[in-house]
Structure 1
Amino acid sequence: MTASETRPTIYFVRHGETDWNLEGRLQGQRDIPLNDVGRVQAEEAGRRLQALVPNPEDLAYVASPMSRTRETMERLRKVIGLHPESYRLDERLVELTFGEWEGMTWKEVRKKEPQRASLRERDKWNYAPPGGGESYAMLVDRVRPVLNDLTRDTVLVAHGGVARAFLAAACGVSTRDAASIDIWQGKILVIEGRKHRWV
């Protein structure tokens, strides 16, 4: 059997909505909190998990250390009757950074730096934004060890970029598709071996 066939199941939850999500701003590693809609989405993800897994207390729980992912995890755990703060943080799960573009909308990026925006549009997976930004390819290198370290079925609360990296690394989704796929808030991305589905 290959590693992917024996890998534990991942229940991936993207953090709930923030005001920057609503405005279409690139958050990256800026620590933007959930808004009221995001809090409801976090609780909805908890209800979905409870309906999906007979004994959610048996799962491992790991989150990105950013405030929006921590609050999502804590609200999710509270809904299913678990101690809100009994989970582990993993720095490797932070969102990719957009460098100098963080805080801007894509419309603003295209207006301010049309050539660079065009380069990214041509190769979303491999393009790293200016000012220390990361590409999805770089993100895969950062998060692949997280996949390899899993020893039991796990709830991971992280970010849209991290989900795209997991879909490419764990499920074999093409980098072109993974770079553009919608990552839903309030739902659960179930990754079993090389298969994935939304619940």
Structure 2
Amino acid sequence: MSLPHRLILVRHGETDWNREGRLQGGQDIPLNDLGRRQAAEAAGRLKALEPAYAELDYIGSPMQRARETMDILRRELGLPEGGYVVEDRLRELTFGEWEGFTWRDVRKAEREQAQLRERDKWGFVPPGGESYRMLAERVRPVLEGLRRETVIVSHGGVARAVLALVGAVAPRDAARVDIWQGKLLVVTGDKAEWL
């Protein structure tokens, strides 16, 4: 699918679990101090990229780390508090029973499952979780419903799903793309670039 309008993706700022390398997924972990600074940095990048930032639509994940990022971003831009849509389908990919563990923990406790995931990161479903493929199908209707240029504040998994959906990256590769905190991932048509 090709987006008719530019999309600006912002991954939430860092949490303590990000710093520790823990799988957050569906866990509602708050930002840490660095994460709050990264949210402010993203606002500065948005202001430099798009002088008419007040005219854009804003949509965010309902998860605490994404909402806090959105609130900081909008405050830094001087936009009204709460002036954005919360979209449940933009929640992070869930890792099910693996949440709270590091990848090292998972590899040690469930070696075969971890190896299966490495062979097919896009299609693998962790115990009680979901695959990137499933996440992409959850996110697709959100993208199809965009009517104009939009800022989405969400998660690394959601950004990877978007990259695959628009054709900027092959699905098998999308699951391995680094998604940076504090930067903007700008998607235009089937192209994406970091700012």
Q: TM-score range by the shorter chain?
A: over 0.9
SS of 1:8's equivalent? Answer: strand
- The equivalent of 1:117 in structure 2 is 114
Q: Give the Å deviation of 1:177.
A: 1.6
Q: Give the Å deviation of 1:60.
A: 0.2
Confirm whether residue 126 of structure 1 aligns to residue 123 of structure 2: yes
- Give yes or no for contact 2:186–2:192 (8 Å, CA) kept in 1: yes
Q: Give the Å deviation of 1:108.
A: 0.1
Q: Give the Å deviation of 1:80.
A: 0.9
Confirm whether residue 182 of structure 1 aligns to residue 178 of structure 2: yes
Amino acid at match of 2:166: A
SS of 2:2's equivalent? Answer: helix
Confirm whether residue 149 of structure 1 aligns to residue 145 of structure 2: yes
- Give yes or no for contact 1:164–1:181 (8 Å, CA) kept in 2: yes
Query: Aligned ranges for residues 78-97 of structure 1 at < 5 Å?
Result: 78-97=75-94
Query: Which stretches in structure 2 are left out of the alignment for 5+ residues?
Result: none
Q: Give the Å deviation of 1:171.
A: 2.9
Q: Distance in 2 between matches of 1:4 and 1:100?
A: 35
SS of 1:86's equivalent? Answer: coil
Q: CA RMSD in A?
A: 0.9
- After alignment, is 163-172 or 91-100 more displaced? 163-172
Q: Distance in 2 between matches of 1:58 and 1:170?
A: 24
How many equivalent residue pairs?
Answer: 195
Normalising to structure 1: TM-score of the pair? Answer: 0.96
Confirm whether residue 164 of structure 1 aligns to residue 160 of structure 2: yes
SS of 1:180's equivalent? Answer: coil
Amino acid at match of 2:174: A
Normalising to structure 2: TM-score of the pair? Answer: 0.98
- Describe the superposition over 1:89-118 as per-residue Cα deviations: whole angstroms up to 9, x where unpaired: 000000010010000000000000001001
- Give yes or no for contact 1:15–1:38 (8 Å, CA) kept in 2: yes
- The equivalent of 2:33 in structure 1 is 36
- The equivalent of 1:54 in structure 2 is 51
Q: Distance in 2 between matches of 1:171 and 1:85?
A: 32
* Percent of residue pairs bearing the same amino acid type: 61
Amino acid at match of 1:35: N
Q: Give the Å deviation of 1:83.
A: 1.2
Q: Give the Å deviation of 1:175.
A: 1.5
- Describe the superposition over 1:153-198 as per-residue Cα deviations: whole angstroms up to 9, x where unpaired: 0000000000000000013411222110100000000000111100
Q: Distance in 2 between matches of 1:12 and 1:172?
A: 14
- The equivalent of 1:4 in structure 2 is 2
